[in-house]
């Protein structure tokens, strides 16, 4: 397995433990359904080769990843959109906490910014955390 895939799987597994998340996967599949929400999706955006040397002479690569957070909007939701924002920000904070203390397979991680859907989508709320992760090179690289 490649080191980037191992890093993404480690991050996915950590994020899957966030309370109230129904599905957490790598990739934004085209057939996401209401049954998948609340959800987290990890999408690698940019990969930089294993050129960084860290203390201890570890060779590392860097990946920019979008971490999508999605939750359905429904008339049955008590508290309306404000309650949904409250829950979404709870999930967002859990993601921030995981990035601050990344799982095994990731040397370092940090969030660059979070982009929201600006209430432009009628059926669900989406946020995307743009994060950078540093992952170790495969042995022998």
Q: Which residues contact 88 (CB under 8 A, 6 or more apart)?
A: 69, 71, 125, 127
Please give the pLDDT value at position 3.
Answer: 87
List, for residues 12-64, the tens digit of each pLDDT value.
Answer: 999 999 999 999 999 999 999 889 999 999 999 999 877 666 665 567 889 99
Q: Kindly state the helix (H) or strand (E) to which residue 69 belongs, with its residue range.
A: strand 58-72
Asked if residue 135 lies in contact with residue 80, where contact means CB atoms within 8 angstroms, the answer is: no
Report H helices in the chain. 3-16, 80-100
Please give the pLDDT value at position 40.
Answer: 98
Compute the distance between CA of residue 129 and CA of residue 95 in angstroms, rounded to an integer. 9
Q: pTM score > 0.85 for this model?
A: yes
Please give the pLDDT value at position 140.
Answer: 56
Structure tokens at 99: 């990035």
Asked if residue 8 lies in contact with residue 42, where contact means CB atoms within 8 angstroms, the answer is: yes
């Amino acid at each position: 397995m490649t080191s980037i895939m191992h890093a993404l799987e480690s991050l996915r597994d950590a994020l899957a433990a966030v309370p109230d998340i129904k599905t957490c996967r790598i990739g934004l599949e085209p057939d996401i359904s209401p049954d998948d929400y609340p959800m987290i999706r990890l999408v690698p955006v940019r990969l930089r080769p294993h050129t960084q040397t860290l203390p201890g002479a570890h060779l590392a690569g860097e990946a920019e990843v979008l971490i999508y957070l999605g939750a359905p909007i429904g008339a049955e939701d008590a508290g309306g959109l404000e309650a949904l924002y409250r829950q979404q920000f709870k999930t967002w904070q859990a993601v921030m906490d995981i990035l601050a203390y990344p799982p095994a397979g990731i040397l370092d991680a940090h969030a660059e910014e979070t982009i929201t859907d600006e209430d432009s989508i009628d059926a669900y709320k989406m946020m995307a955390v743009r994060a950078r992760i540093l992952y170790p090179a495969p042995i022998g690289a």
